[in-house]
Structure 1
Amino acid sequence: MKIATPYYLIDEKKLLRNLQIIEQVRQLSGAKSVLALKCFSTWSVFDLMREYMDGTTSSSLYEARLGFEKFGKETHAYCVGYSQEDILAVAEFADKIIFNSVSQLEKYYDIAKSAKLGLRVNPGISHSHFDLADPARKHSRLGVVDKDILAKQIPRLSGLMFHYNCENDDFEMFSQQLDAIGDSYGDMLRELQWVSLGGGLYFTKEGYPVEKFSKKLADFASEFNVQVYLEPGESAITGCAELVTSVVDVVHNEMDIAIVDASVEGHMLDLLIYRLSAKIEAGEMGNHKYMVAGRSCLAGDVFGTFDFKDKLEIGSEIRFADAAGYTMVKKNWFNGLQMPSIAVCRLDGTVEVVRKFTYSDFLNNLS
């Protein structure tokens, strides 16, 4: 099936590999997993994900509503700063409402108390390769820092959320930090029903000690008599999608530069934010060096420099890997560029184009 580029292609077989590891952790540890919609919210594959995960968690009213309507199961609603309108809305359907601060909890307690309430805690420790994504960075606004203030709120709560990791694939580091949380907050946890350890734990990475990880979670849950939740985002969908593009021009300025029919800023924005290079499959590598750039007007709209197996020409296809997490949720209409379609390769191998975008979508995105 020939699909016009650009398009995102989600491969359900690759997605299933991650989901089966999540299921393994669920079975071995008793921990539940809720999908972090801030990372991935393409609901055309929720039917598959629903079989292996316990629900969704969110960062806004709209994400919470999407999880409730399209995923079902448990709906956790978190936001850094709710408005009263947000709380009135999420209180209608959320199973758990998690506040970022004590002031928000106090302001909206009477509205939200029909749900199970939680508070986000900033434990002062974290694991992140980027200051931009470090929840415990200096002057962080994310979570309650003061333990004495937190302790006074425990009677109002059913759980706590500790989201302090970003792409943490180091089990020993995770283990040490979980011990530190148990030491610091164990007395509070024993009075509660659940604890979320957030996302950013790369436990579906090849070679990760899943059984040790699961035992650590099970022991933690047993020691403090709490239901443990994980909030996988990247771990659920990493490696399962590509951005498929075509070369529209090749120019030369000290080196060969291939321009494709997509844009880093518009279609893989996280690469620009974190100053990373895109990834292509190893099988595509060879001896023909090209810088690959997008077709927006941004001078730095560059996917990276790669050594291709074959010489690139107009019409050559280039596939960028890992185009799901924090990618599809951030796509935008910068420069009015054609938005990539969304296609899914189902488990049976059939490819389905689930969404095409047109000029009317661009028009209606504006005023």
Structure 2
Amino acid sequence: MKIATPYYLIDEKKLLRNLQIIEQVRQLSGAKSVLALKCFSTWCVFDLMRQYMDGTTSSSLFEARLGYEKFGKETHAYCVGYSEEDIREITGFADKIIFNSVSQLERYYDLAKTAKLGLRVNPGISHSHFDLADPARKYSRLGVVDKAVLTQQISRLSGLMFHYNCENDDFEGFAAQLDTLGECYGDVLRQLQWVSLGGGLYFTKEGYPVEKFSKKLADFANAFDVQVYLEPGESAITGCAELVTTVVDLVHNEQDIAIVDASVEGHMLDLLIYRLSAKLEGGDNGKYPYMVAGRSCLAGDVFGTFNFKDKLEVGSEIRFADAAGYTMVKKNWFNGLKMPAIAVRRLDDTIEVVRKFSYADFVNSLS
């Protein structure tokens, strides 16, 4: 099936591999997993994902509503800063409402108390390769720092959320972190019903010790008599999608440069934010080096430099791997560039184009 580029292609078989590991962790540990919609909200594959996951968690009213309407099951609502209008709407469907601060909890307690309430805690420890994404960075606004202040709110709470990891694939480091949480907050947890350990744990990575991870979670849950939640985002969808592009021009400026019909800033924004290179589907171990760049006017709109097996020409197809997380949720209309369609290769290998974007979508995104 020929699809006009650019487009994101989600592969349900690759997605299923991650989901089966998530299910394995639940069976071995008792820990439930709720999908972090901030990373991936493409609801055309939620029918598959809900078979292996327990619900969704969010960072805003709109994400929470999307999870409730399109995923179902448990709906966890979190936001760094709710408005009163947010809370009034969220209480109509959220199972759990998690506040970022004691001041927000106090302000909206009477409105929200029909749901199970939680507080985000900043434990002062974290794992992140980037200061930009470090929840425990200096002056962080994310979560309650003062344990004494937290303890005064226990009677209003049913659980806590600790979200302090970003792309943590180090099991031993995670285990040490969990021991620290138990030592510092165990007395509080024993008075509650649940605890979320947040996202950023790369337990679906090839070779990750899933059984050890599961046992650590089970031991923690048993020690403090709490239901453990995980909030996988990238762990749920890693490696399951591509951004498929076509070369529209070739230029030379000390090196060969291929310009494709997509944009880093518009379609894989995190690469630009964190100054990373894209991953090339099939690897880049050929003998023909090219810088691959997007077609926006931004000078630094560059996917990376790769070695291709064959010389590129106008019309050549280039597929960027691992293009599910933080891409479709961040895509934008910069330069008015054509928005990539969204396609899915289903479990039976049929390919379905589930969404195309048009000029009308561009116009209607503005005013």
AA of the residue aligned to 1:257? I
- Deviation string 1:54-105 (CA, Å, 9 cap, x unpaired) is 0000000000000000000000000000000000000000000000000000
1:203 correspondence with 2:212 = no
Partner of 2:72: 72
Give aligned-pair identity as a percent: 86
Report the counterpart of residue 345 of structure 2 in structure 1.
345
Measured after TM superposition, the shift of residue 282 of structure 1 is: 3.6
Residue matched to 1:289: 289
The answer to whether structure 1 residue 147 and structure 2 residue 138 are counterparts is no
Distance apart, 1:49 and its partner CA: 0.1
Q: Structure 1, residues 169-207: CA drift from partner, whole Å, max 9, x if none?
A: 000000000000000000000000000000000000000
* Structure 1 residue aligned with 2:243: 243
Shift of 1:237: 0.1
Task: Describe the SS at the equivalent of 2:314.
Answer: coil
Where in structure 2 are there 5+ consecutive unaligned residues? Answer: none
* 2:219 aligned residue: 219
Aligned twin of 2:54:
54
Supply the AA of the counterpart residue of 1:203: F
Written as runs of structure 1 = structure 2, the 5 A alignment for 1:52-131 is: 52-131=52-131
Structure 2 contact 284–306 (Cα < 8 Å) conserved: no
Cα distance in 1 between the residues matched to 2:34 and 2:160 = 15
Q: State the secondary structure of the residue aligned to 1:211.
A: helix
Q: Which amino acid aligns with 2:87?
A: I
Counterpart of 1:301 in structure 2: which amino acid?
D
2:87 and 2:322 mapped to 1: Cα distance? 34
Is the CA contact (8 Å cut-off) linking 2:162 and 2:198 kept in structure 1? yes
Distance 1:36 1:14 in 2: 18
CA distance in 1, matches of 2:262, 2:323: 12
Name the CA distance, whole Å, in 1 between partners of 2:233 and 2:313.
36
Contact kept in structure 1, 2:250 and 2:313, CA below 8 Å: yes
* Distance in 2, Cα, partners of 1:36 & 1:120: 15
Map Cα deviations across residues 124-182 of structure 1 (whole Å, 9 max, x no partner): 00000000000000000000000000000011000000000000000000000000000
Measure, in 2, the Cα distance between the counterparts of 1:76 and 1:304.
37
Offset at residue 283 of structure 1 (A): 4.7
Looking at structure 2, the residues matched to 176 and 283 of structure 1 have their Cα atoms a distance apart, in angstroms, of 35
Contact 2:267 2:327 in 1 (8 A): yes
Spell out, residue by residue over 1:223-262, the C-alpha distance to the aligned partner (whole angstroms, 9 max, x if none): 0000000000000000000000000000000010000000
Q: Distance in 2 between matches of 1:274 and 1:341?
A: 24
Deviations 1:272-321 (A, max 9, x none): 00000000124553100000000000000000000000100000000001
What SS does structure 2 have at the residue aligned with 1:249? strand
* CA offsets 1:335-366 (integer angstroms, 9 cap, x no match): 00000000000000000000000000000000
TM-score norm. by structure 1 comes to 1.00
CA distance in 2, matches of 1:326, 1:77: 19
Deviation by residue 1:11-34 (Cα, 9 ceiling, x = unmatched): 000000000000000000000000
Match of 2:301 in 1: 301
- Give the TM-score, by structure 2 length: 1.00
Query: For residues 8 and 46 of structure 1, what CA distance do their matches in structure 2 show?
Result: 16
Q: Would the aligned equivalents of 2:120 and 2:142 in 1 still touch at CA under 8 Å?
A: yes
Aligned to 1:165: 165
CA-CA distance at 1:332 after TM superposition: 0.2
Question: Which residue does the alignment assign to 1:279?
Answer: 279
> 2:6 is matched with which residue?
6
Give the structure 2 partner of residue 360 of structure 1: 360
Gap runs ≥5 in structure 1: none
* SS at structure 1 position matched to 2:297: coil
| Cα distance in 1 for residues equivalent to 2:172 and 2:154 | 30
In structure 1, how many angstroms separate the alpha carbons of the residues matched to 2:109 and 2:308? 58
Q: Does 1:316 align with 2:305?
A: no
Deviates more, 1:280-289 or 1:193-202: 280-289
Check conservation: 2:267, 2:328, Cα contact below 8 A: yes
Change (3 A) 1:139 1:64: same
Aligned alpha-carbon RMSD (Å): 0.5
List per-residue Cα deviations over 1:198-223 (Å, max 9, x = no partner).
00000000000000000000000000
Structure 2: which amino acid aligns with 1:307? N
Following superposition, the deviation at residue 327 of structure 1 comes to 1.0
- The one-letter amino acid paired with 1:11 is D
Structure 2 SS opposite 1:242:
strand
2:152 aligned counterpart, secondary structure: helix
